[in-house]
Amino acid sequence: MTTIDQILKCIKKSKNIVIVTHENPDGDAVGSSLAMYHALKGLKKNVDIIIPEYSKCFNELPGIDEVIKESDKVYDLAISLDAATDKLLNVWVKYFREADQRIVIDHHSTNTMFGDINYVDLSAPACAQVVYMLIKHYRWKITPEIGTCIMAGIITDTGGFQYSGVSKDTFNIAAELLDVGVNISKVYKKVFDTKTRSSFELRRIAIDRMEFLEDGKIAFTYVTNEDERKVNAGVGDYEGIVSEGRSVEGVEVSIFLHELKDGEFKISLRSNSYVNVSDVCIMFGGGGHIRAAGAKMTADPLVIRDKVVNEVKRQLK
């Protein structure tokens, strides 16, 4: 029996299902989770989707008002979406671990295969694309609601169809979603191209602080909890800042640090053409994709800068 068949068999026999994703969820995490939620509801399953915090830019996605922050239920199946390790599920990993059966659906090369059934498609530029292909394979109906959530995930993780992982399949999916009534331009505008005032102010702080290293091949900046308090930043307002550095002419790698709690920073790396930032982040206990990866470290931001830059320098030409 193939992994895809195992997933279907597990879903069919399950009555109470919970969907979880990684902490600080981006559009792919939220979009793929909501798409799976709608698909399972279409099968008349009892489904909960648990996402404790998410950005305001996802407030118009279909089903977002049905997301819950916690639960006291017992589940016979848990599905993790877009998370490479169970550590990324943070405190709500308990819902995953306590379920009778656990399925992992992902697209990261650093996935640790932490489920009972693991389906990881490294060729997909977004987990939402993996979810779409599964739904199509099972011949489940793709509704406008499912399609909108899939589109949100794909747009987010491909940078609006910019990144190297985008394939013919990705564009074919977009065309098929248009056919079912998805307003791609509206989704793009809301989840990818609209910023809150606080997000704009936080971005300005990061740009003012940005420095260029190694003859302009590396861009570095960071924001702290204090910066976020100053601008009254909300969840996810730091998203996209890392791309500001990468957009500058001559920059190969952009490094962005976002303080999660006192002294602990999320490290986000993006590269343009040849540096494998996943390899860099693996050195610090993280990982991700060749051109987009992350890790965490507790230290002064300038200490983190020096450590990460030293690893990036090994790959610079």
Shared domain check, 219 and 162: no
Shared domain check, 185 and 92: yes
Shared domain check, 237 and 181: no
Average pLDDT for 22-40: 96
CB of 39 closer than 8 Å to CB of 69: no
Shared domain check, 153 and 22: yes
Write out the two tokens for 297: 């470290």
CB of 48 closer than 8 Å to CB of 21: no
DSSP letters, 250-303, are T-SEEEEEEEEETTEEEEEEEESSS--HHHHHHTTT-EE-SSEEEEEEES-HHH
Say if residue 164's pLDDT is above 80.
no
Say if residue 227's pLDDT is above 90.
yes
Shared domain check, 218 and 140: no
Shared domain check, 113 and 171: yes
Backbone dihedral angles phi then psi of residue 294, each to the nearest 5 degrees: -155, 170
Residue 235, pLDDT score: 86
- Dump pLDDT digits (tens) for 77-110: 999 999 999 999 988 899 999 999 999 999 999 9
Distance CA 223, CA 225 (A): 7
Q: What is the crossing angle of helices 27-42 and 127-138, to 10°?
A: 20
CB of 60 closer than 8 Å to CB of 85: no
* Amino acid in position 128: A
Distance CA 257, CA 266 (A): 6
Domain range for 272 is 197-313
204 CB burial (10 A radius; 0-12, 13-18, 19+):
exposed
Give me the sign of the Cα torsion angle 158, 160, 162, 168. Answer: positive
Residue 228's pLDDT band, with cuts at 50, 70 and 90, is very high
Final residue belonging to a domain, choices 148, 164, 191 = 191
Residue 193, pLDDT score: 79
Sheet with 218-223: list strands edge to edge: 211-213, 218-223, 253-261, 264-271, 292-298, 287-288
**In this structure, what DSSP letter does residue 50 have?**
E
> Which CATH number does the domain housing residue 105 bear?
3.90.1640.10
Final residue belonging to a domain, choices 144, 162, 191 = 191
Shared domain check, 260 and 185: no
Mean pLDDT of the chain: 95
How large a percentage of the chain has pLDDT more than 70?
A: 100
Shared domain check, 117 and 238: no
Shared domain check, 248 and 99: no
Shared domain check, 185 and 220: no
302 CB burial (10 A radius; 0-12, 13-18, 19+):
exposed
- Dump pLDDT digits (tens) for 271-281: 999 999 999 99
* Amino acid in position 133: M
Shared domain check, 230 and 156: no
CB of 205 closer than 8 Å to CB of 223: yes
In angstroms, how far apart are the furthest CA atoms of the chain?
58
CB of 150 closer than 8 Å to CB of 132: yes
> Which CATH number does the domain housing residue 243 bear?
3.10.310.30
Distance CA 204, CA 96 (A): 38
Angle (CA) 299 300 305, round 5°: 95
Shared domain check, 284 and 163: no
Number of domains making up the chain:
2
Q: What is the crossing angle of helices 127-138 and 168-179, to 10°?
A: 60
Whether this model's pTM surpasses 0.95 = no
Final residue belonging to a domain, choices 171, 191, 211 = 191
Smallest Cα–Cα separation from 165: which of 129, 118, 119? 129
Smallest Cα–Cα separation from 29: which of 47, 10, 54? 54
